[in-house]
Amino acid sequence: MNESEITEKAEDFIRNQLGLPPESKDVDLVTLYDSLDVAQPLRPDIVFKNNGELFFVEIKNSTVTIDTIARMNLQREILQKRTNRQVRLVIAAKTINSREEILAKELDIIIIKLPWALTTPKGLEYKSTKIRISSQKSWKIITRLLREKSTSIRQLSIKEGVSYAWTHKVIEILREQNVVKSDGGYVTVSDVKNLLNGVAWERPMRNLQAGEFPVTFSGTHTAAQEITRALQKQEIKFAFTAYTSGGLYTSYAIRQDAIYLYLEKEAIGQFKENFGSLGENSIRAVIYTPDRDVFTDVQERESVVITSPAQTLLDLAGLGFSAMDLTRVMVEKYADL
């Protein structure tokens, strides 16, 4: 029996258990998401439609977990909130523990027990991807696309020296999230907001923050220049980022109450000793420790060492809503940086 026959057999069994007529055929997910204008991807294994009602089905060859139940409930909440469309959730499994079964029923999730003799298609179950759009390799592809505006997957791969397979997977993930769209073999970013929200969720800057304390300067730009001069003399690795670098790249209004920079963890104590202050007229220094190489591609603008445009954009996105205006300006100007 081939894969399509196995899939059809499983679908027929589940459809019959739900009491749905044969004409309630499996719904194409891409078409469904386009018609409902759903920005965030939903990943049920099977979708049935009957008289306007949608059934999202998860097929589990392994034991049903709390994670499965929670993810399905989130799928329903997102879709119903964004589309006012009613969705019934279904878990079709060969085994489910009593705790999970009780919880599923409390959340109004239909449980279907699959016969052990019924073969279910391999690879149908949802698996979270290991590829993160905020990883160094993925972000190189994304920022290249922002710079080129419209290009092919192959050109993205060649220009950034990333394998075609990885590039293709990143674009597929972004397409599923409605971040990019394809047209005649070319891809373009179609929803910047979704892209930035995805980065903020994956790599929030608060997770990298190692400290915040006042420093002995009255102005942020002067502080950045003086600190640059001093740390260069001391040969300490550093780079200003976020609001500080974003303001210098875009000429957008620079925050006057704080500076933002990367330092290696072992250099933070020395930095605080050199520049720390208890004065009333001081400004804040927000220190981040890098999770990747942020120092190799630094630039110097107005006598201040700052992270590269790509790193700056990533960090601004990681600040979330509070930096959204500056982040959007950075995206608009990215091709010229």
Tens of pLDDT, residues 171-207? 988 987 788 998 888 999 999 988 998 898 889 999 9
Q: What is the pLDDT tens value at each position of the chain, 337 positions in all? A: 444 444 457 788 888 899 988 877 656 554 555 455 444 445 677 888 888 788 888 888 777 888 888 888 887 887 777 667 778 999 998 888 888 899 999 999 999 988 877 766 544 444 445 678 999 999 999 999 999 999 999 999 999 999 998 999 899 889 877 889 988 889 999 999 889 988 988 899 999 999 999 998 878 999 999 999 999 999 999 999 999 999 999 998 777 889 999 999 999 999 999 998 876 668 999 999 999 999 999 999 999 999 999 999 999 999 988 898 999 999 999 999 8
> Residue 31's pLDDT is what?
53
Residue 35's alpha-carbon distances to 30, 31, 178, in angstroms, are 9, 6, 13
Q: Is the pTM of this model over 0.75?
A: no
> Where in the chain do CATH 3.30.460.40 domains reside?
205-336
> Residue 119's pLDDT is what?
65
Tokens of 75: 């799928």
Report residue 26: phi and psi, to 5°.
-55, 135
- List Cβ neighbours of 61 (8 Å cut-off, separation of 6 or more): 93, 94, 120, 125
- The CATH T-level fold of domain 3-113 is Trna Endonuclease; Chain: A, domain 1 (3.40.1350)
Q: Are 331 and 278 in contact (CB under 8 A)?
A: no
Rounded distance, CA 24 to CA 46, Å? 12
Rounded distance, CA 232 to CA 313, Å? 24
Q: Are 134 and 202 in contact (CB under 8 A)?
A: yes
In 3D space, the residue among 144, 126, 131 whose CA is nearest the CA of residue 172 turns out to be 131
- DSSP letter for 177, please: T
Domain 205-336 carries which CATH code?
3.30.460.40
> Where in the chain do CATH 1.10.10.10 domains reside?
136-190
> Residue 43's pLDDT is what?
63
The 109-113 sheet, strands edge to edge: 46-50, 53-60, 87-93, 109-113
> Where in the chain do CATH 3.40.1350.10 domains reside?
3-113
Rounded distance, CA 198 to CA 200, Å? 5
Top-level class of domain 136-190: mainly alpha
Tokens of 49: 């439609």
> Residue 29's pLDDT is what?
56
> Residue 271's pLDDT is what?
94
> Token match 């000429």: residue?
251
- HEC string for 263-321: ECHHHHHHHHHHHECCCCCCEEEEEECCCCCCCCCCEEECCEEECCHHHHHHHHHHCHH
> Residue 40's pLDDT is what?
45
